[in-house]
Amino acid sequence: MSILNQQFSTPFNTAPFSKITNEDFLPAFKTAIEKARKEIDAIVESKEHPTFENTIEALEFSGQELDRISSIFFNLNSAETNDEIQKIAQEVSPLLSEFGNDITLNEALFKRIKTVYDSEPKNLSEEQKTLLDKRYKSFSRNGANLPDAKKGQLREIDKELSKLKLKFGENVLAETNKFEMLITDENDVSGLPEGAKEAAKQLAESKGKEGWMITLDYPSYIPFMTYADNRELRKKLSLAFGSKAFKNDELDNQDIVIKIANLRFKRAQLLGYKTHAHFVLEERMAKTPKKVESFLNELLEKAKPAAEREFANLENFSKDLDGIDTLQKWDSAYYSEKLKQKLFDLDDEKLKPYFKLENVINGAFTVANKLFDLNFEEIDTIDKYHEDVLTYKVTDNDGNLVSIFYADFFPRAGKRNGAWMTSYKPQYIQNGKEERPHVSIVCNFTKPTKSKPSLLTFNEVTTLFHEFGHALHGMLANTTYPSLSGTSVYWDFVELPSQIMENWCYEKEALELFAKHYETNEVIPMDLVNKIKESATFHEGMQTLRQISFGLLDMSWHGQDPSDITDVKKQELKAFSGTKLYPDVPENCMSTAFAHIFQGGYSSGYYSYKWAEVLDADAFEYFKEEGIFDKTVANKFKEYVLSKGGTEDPMVLYKRFRGQEPKPEALLKRAGLIER
């Protein structure tokens, strides 16, 4: 039997990475799936009348071995992968998907769950009520209550949707890959930073061409739109980018967009919901499309005057600088960057010496200690999956174990880009025994060199604090059930703990704890901190308006009956009418390439980016009112937000912490959109 199918005999029951081989995974998964199946069968075949304990709770604690193996395997596939692991992932994913469907479509199991749900058992705690509701909905929202004929329709819709979403993405990718702009005159790349020029030259060479190659991939597109002096070429690139899958050819997505919107609407109606947005938002803090629309419109009302002022300033600036009569979309990034450089003399290279990685890590730990009484001790007694990983034992002030914490900071070949928080083991209580969580953060920061330690950009500092905020949400979990523990919360609530932690990076009182020059130990000068703060709100009105416009477009497709929509561009112009700053470009259409909502998981959810910002700004305002290290506020945040996971409705938890619903004023003040 694989080591993965046995109880770990390791310190703190941590994953025995050094003893696990790739060959262990596939047999371990198959064994664990079989065990989990038997646990489900035992629930279904029980002769006892269904109760919360013998059905809902039993289901919650089934498949623990499978969950543990999945956590280890898929975390390695992100942080320390190789061809072999990726191949195993291709084999394992369908097995897990099939097992998941076997549970959701198990009629006998659903019958037991429904019996418990319909009996409305008394004496359940809030957490138990939430678990019962969540478990029932996970079946009913996937059609378990439908008669067989409608179940068949639902499967057909889902099949068709999955094909259309795939085709949508394939068309956007093909359009992106198809476009190439070869520049042969060096004057036409004037303004581009050396690094971007070098990359463009290398790309041209790799395709056997002379000159500089610009494409629609972000690392090529963004620098050109931001720095290239040639306005005509910026226009050409912008038109190509904005017209993806909108050319009435074989890669056109207009019909696909309309079909996806209509199928989603049909699916929602089949399940008894008014629209797709009503279906999605039932499981979000916002609850209803009406609430989302009023939220977006309230922000719009506040942000629009600031956005119009910023736009007028940008128009005047471009006119004075280059005699531009009408500012177009392809001028936006270019003149914004020029204006930003004029207003703020801020260079990342000046800041980096104050942000040595070790100091920033200790800064995050000190902030967590001052707020939540956590102590971090680096230990070398537990297994790691790579030598770069740092391991910590986290305790409270009484010496009790809170969590095991892994931190993995540097890029390497087997690690995907970006930064994320994850978990190897959740917190939960079973049979009166509590299991504490094993939490990890993974980032990609600059490695130390022979002459210099790892020095972070300010953006990397906020990234570290952001992921550490997610980690605190996992570490401080204090619930009974693993599926409601830590970060297992609504989509529009999960970013609150992470985004709020970023705020300490801008506060003098916090920066003095860790922002010290790596050679002289001098604390970061406040004029640099002020410049960071000032530049953070640059063009915030226009940025906010842009995000609102995307949210409104999303709701226009999903918050109503789309069956009368025949013209994608016309529908888009209607949705954008209240947020328009730049002249419309007839050749461009956003919906046909809006992968977030038509291919990814953000349909009816694009608003949540701004929603989470409102929560974090409002929550941090409370800290600022009482003091950024105030213990009373920190204890309330720990008690009602960080420790409760998904055990209750997040708005109920937030109101317990704050005493009121979040107001957008704090975000608008922080963004400089209304007077402080």
Q: How far apart are CA 566 and CA 588, in angstroms?
A: 17
Residues near 598 by beta carbon (within 8 Å), at least 6 away in sequence: 165, 168, 253, 256, 257, 260, 591
Structure tokens of 513? 């704890």
Structure tokens of 296? 């977006």
Q: How far apart are CA 240 and CA 144, in angstroms?
A: 45
Q: How far apart are CA 550 and CA 565, in angstroms?
A: 18
Q: Give the single-character DSSP code of 246.
A: -
**84 among known catalytic residues:** no
Q: How far apart are CA 199 and CA 190, in angstroms?
A: 14
Q: In what order do the strands lie in the sheet with 375-378?
A: 375-378, 390-395, 401-408, 438-442, 420-425
- Pick the closest to residue 72 from 33, 24, 11 (CA basis): 24
Q: Please provide residue 144's backbone torsions phi and psi, each rounded to the nearest 5 degrees.
A: -65, -25
Q: What is the DSSP string of 539-590?
A: THHHHHHHHHHHHHHHHHHHSS--TT---HHHHHHHHHTTT--SPP-TT--S
- Pick the closest to residue 267 from 149, 143, 168, 163 (CA basis): 143
Instruction: Give 159: exposed, middle or buried? Use CB within 10 Å, 0-12, 13-18, 19+.
Output: exposed
Catalytic pick from 57, 310, 467, 502? 467
Place of tokens 């001098």: 522
- Pick the closest to residue 296 from 605, 651, 537 (CA basis): 605
Structure tokens of 615? 């929560």
Q: Give the single-character DSSP code of 126.
A: H
The dihedral sign for the CA sequence 109, 112, 118, 121 = negative
Q: How far apart are CA 670 and CA 74, in angstroms?
A: 38
DSSP run (H or E) holding 313: helix 289-322
- CA of 162: how far to CAs of 30, 158, 165, 321, in Å? 27, 6, 5, 50
Q: How far apart are CA 259 and CA 565, in angstroms?
A: 10
Q: How far apart are CA 543 and CA 266, in angstroms?
A: 34
Place of tokens 């308006």: 545
Place of tokens 């700053």: 581
Place of tokens 């002459």: 451
- Are 60 and 135 a contacting pair, CB within 8 Å? yes
Q: How far apart are CA 4 and CA 10, in angstroms?
A: 12
Neighbours of 462 (CB within 10 A): 20
- Pick the closest to residue 357 from 379, 403, 388, 386 (CA basis): 388
Place of tokens 């537990």: 382
What is the chain's alpha carbon radius of gyration, rounded to the nearest angstrom? 27
- Helices 540-558, 608-626: axis angle to 10 degrees equals 130
Residues assigned a catalytic role: 467
